[in-house]
Amino acid sequence: MAMFFYRIGHFMTSSNIPKSILIATGNKGKIREFEQLLLPLNILLVKLDELPFIAEPEETGTTFHDNAKLKAEYYATRSGLWSMADDSGLEIDHLKGAPGVLSARYGGADASYSEKMRLVLDKLASTTESERSAQFVSVIALADPSGTVRLIAEGVCRGSIADAPRGTHGFGYDPIFLPAGFDRTFGEMNDEEKQSLSHRGKASIQFIRKMSDFTGV
């Protein structure tokens, strides 16, 4: 029944103008941020919990681009909706870009973020401040209902890894990430301040600009 409904939705939205977009992520932190960041689009955002019949894809790509495209294509073809996926992560220079695309799985998929952050801090234990440089990366892909990727946007936020987790805002590695020029972690910033600096905030601005090709806004 649900599939039937979304197939109808497919025909309603299969023109060049998306009337709604599926936010293809189960990560509650990302969903909350996108709901705020994409407000200027003035478009209906559908969440994955409305489509529980779609199983999660395996993220087999080796780059953020590959995984963002893979997820957008996968969810678009199964939902019949325009679908956007963000693949993102933390790259630490001293660890040759790790955890990178494996950020969500670092230390094991079941490891808590306290454990993942502890692992990062342990690996950086013998480093000097200048060796703790890092960046957050976000790549957003938008696929049309046929599964064709129509748009890619990306954002990078440079910074460094703090000595210890600080703050309770945000999600994931936010408590150990100091954006460049700030002595407070993302975990110590409210949503608005984080989004004005963050990788996802920058990628969303580019995404909205490129979306004007479809919507004319």
Task: Give the contact letters, 104-133, x = binds to ligand IMP (CB under 6 A), - = no.
Answer: x-----------------------------
Would residue 18 be called left, alpha or beta, if left means φ above 0 and alpha means ψ between -120 and 50 degrees? beta
174 part of the active site? no
Sheet with 20-23: strands ordered across: 44-47, 20-23, 83-92, 133-143, 149-161, 177-179
Which range, of 15-23, 119-127, 140-148, 170-178, touches ligand IMP by CB under 6 A?
A: 170-178
Pairing of strands 133-143, 83-92: antiparallel
Listing DSSP states for 195-207 in one string gives: HHHSHHHHHHHHH
Question: What is the rounded distance in angstroms from the CA atom of residue 33 to the CA atom of residue 46?
Answer: 14
Is residue 75 a contact partner of residue 25, using CB atoms and an 8 Å limit? no
Among 49, 66, 87, 93, which one carries the catalytic annotation? 87
Residue whose CB is nearest to ligand IMP in the complex, by number: 172
Name which of 15 and 112 has its Cβ closer to ligand IMP.
112
Count of chain residues binding ligand IMP (CB under 6 A)? 16
Which range, of 9-17, 46-54, 122-130, 164-172, touches ligand IMP by CB under 6 A?
A: 164-172
Residue 188 binds to ligand IMP (criterion: CB under 6 A) = no
Radius of gyration of the chain (CA): 18
Least CB distance from residue 106 to ligand IMP, whole Å?
7
Least CB distance from residue 140 to ligand IMP, whole Å?
10
Question: What is the rounded distance in angstroms from the CA atom of residue 91 to the CA atom of residue 107?
Answer: 15
Binding site for ligand IMP (CB under 6 A): 27, 59, 87-90, 103-104, 136, 170-174, 198, 200
What residues act catalytically?
87
